[in-house]
Structure 1
């Protein structure tokens, strides 16, 4: 078997990357997509076929979606997300830090994909971020607070 045939025969996995931004009180910036139910963090698909890394994707998606060019900080979580009718997704969550009020005032939504944005208290996240996403972001926030480094998740829940 030649190398190209071998590569074509391997399993596929998708990758996504998002950034966890907070205000001074600890509320999390979330966005409301127009193409599905529920809210999410600024972020999206890693364009791996173009050589993009998850960190680069998180920065690009933040700029595209909310108009802020912020270099992602530390990796907070990596989540292996299984789903019906699609390959698994490796979802990366980066620390976006605490944004000043001027950054929130400068947000410009990508109207092709987003309806609105808001700041949500940590204990309300699972009410906005549906399914494993709420657990993923809560676990990422917990890792940030604990200073333990990235947490490994499966479907939003810690492994082991």
Structure 2
């Protein structure tokens, strides 16, 4: 295969988006959510992986967390990987890492990226469905289950576990 043939082959491959986020909790187990100004519903700190720069999912989660909430935290273990089918966009592979337990000092240090976020709040598990839409809700619940069970990362499709 020539270089030109290989470039044509690569250009013809399907595109997939990739995102990464961190799941932060407080001492009571409430989940840190952020309110984007560019779409409905709440989210976890995170965003698109910058693959053109060679960024890994873990690096993307750390960078996005630092940008969005001002906390530069090394992500913990992988909690979930979710394949989300695209509607009007390519499919998304979403990586979710353990951000750990935030102290009172950490919470006081949160500084929102005002260009993208309106607010943040801590939400108990039982109230998450009122904030998180679609696959994101299932992804967060699966990640919380992984933490509670001490099990390996959850494999998800559209926010539903497929590894059980």
Distance 2:7 2:86 in 1: 27
Distance 1:72 1:10 in 2: 31
Matches within 5 A, 1:35-114: 35-114=38-117
Q: Which entry has the higher C-alpha Rg, 1 or 2? A: 2
Task: Give the TM-score normalised by structure 1.
Answer: 0.98
Is 1:121 aligned with 2:124?
yes
Q: Look up the SS of the partner of 2:88 in the other structure.
A: coil
Q: Look up the SS of the partner of 2:41 in the other structure.
A: coil
Aligned alpha-carbon RMSD (Å): 0.8
> Which residue in 2 is equivalent to 1:158?
161
> Which residue in 1 is equivalent to 2:36?
33
Q: Could you report, residue by residue, the CA deviation over 1:84-139 in whole angstroms, capped at 9, with x for unpaired residues?
A: 11010000000011011000000000000000000000111121001111111001
Task: Give the TM-score normalised by structure 2.
Answer: 0.95
Q: Contact 1:126/1:135 (CA < 8 Å) preserved in 2?
A: no
Q: Which runs of 5+ in 2 are unaligned?
A: none
> Which residue in 1 is equivalent to 2:145?
142
Q: Look up the SS of the partner of 1:76 in the other structure.
A: strand
Distance 2:153 2:129 in 1: 20
- Stretch deviating more after TM superposition (124-133 or 35-44): 124-133
Deviating runs (4+, > 6 A) in structure 1?
none
Is 1:23 aligned with 2:37?
no
Q: Which runs of 5+ in 1 are unaligned?
A: none
Aligned length: 160
